Structure 1
Amino acid sequence: MTTRQASDNAPLTVTDLQARRDALYLALAQVPEGKVVTYGELASMAGLGRAARWVGRALSQLPDGTTLPWHRVVAAGGRLSLADGSPSGVEQRARLRVEGVLSHNDRVDIRRHGWRPSAQ
Structure 2
Amino acid sequence: MSNNSGFFERVYEVCRLIPEGRVTSYGAIAKYLGAAKSARMVGWAMNSSKKLEDVPAHRVVNRKGLLTGKSHFGGSNAMQQLLEEEGVEVIELQILNFEKYFWDPMKELSRDL
- Structure 1 and Structure 2 fold alike (TM over 0.5): yes
Q: Which has the larger radius of gyration?
A: 1
1:39–1:52: 8 Å Cα contact kept in structure 2? yes
Pairs within 5 Å for 1:80-99: 80-83=67-70, 87-99=74-86
Count of residue pairs the alignment pairs up: 106
Distance 2:17 2:61 in 1: 15
Q: Any stretches of 5+ residues in structure 2 without a counterpart?
A: none
| CA RMSD between the two structures | 2.3
Identical pairs, percent? 25
1:111 aligns with 2:111: no
1:44 aligns with 2:31: yes
Q: Deviations over 1:10-58 (max 9, x none)?
A: xxxx4x5222112111111111100001111111122322111111111
**AA of the residue aligned to 1:53:** R
Q: Any stretches of 5+ residues in structure 1 without a counterpart?
A: 4-13
Distance 2:62 2:40 in 1: 10
Q: How high is the TM-score relative to the length of structure 1?
A: 0.75
Per the alignment, residue 61 of structure 1 pairs with: 48
Higher relative contact order (CA 8 A, sep 6+): 2
Per the alignment, residue 33 of structure 1 pairs with: 20
Distance 2:48 2:14 in 1: 16
1:26–1:46: 8 Å Cα contact kept in structure 2? no
Per the alignment, residue 61 of structure 2 pairs with: 74
C-alpha change, 1:59 and 1:107, in structure 2 (3 Å) is same
Distance 1:77 1:65 in 2: 26
**AA of the residue aligned to 2:85:** V
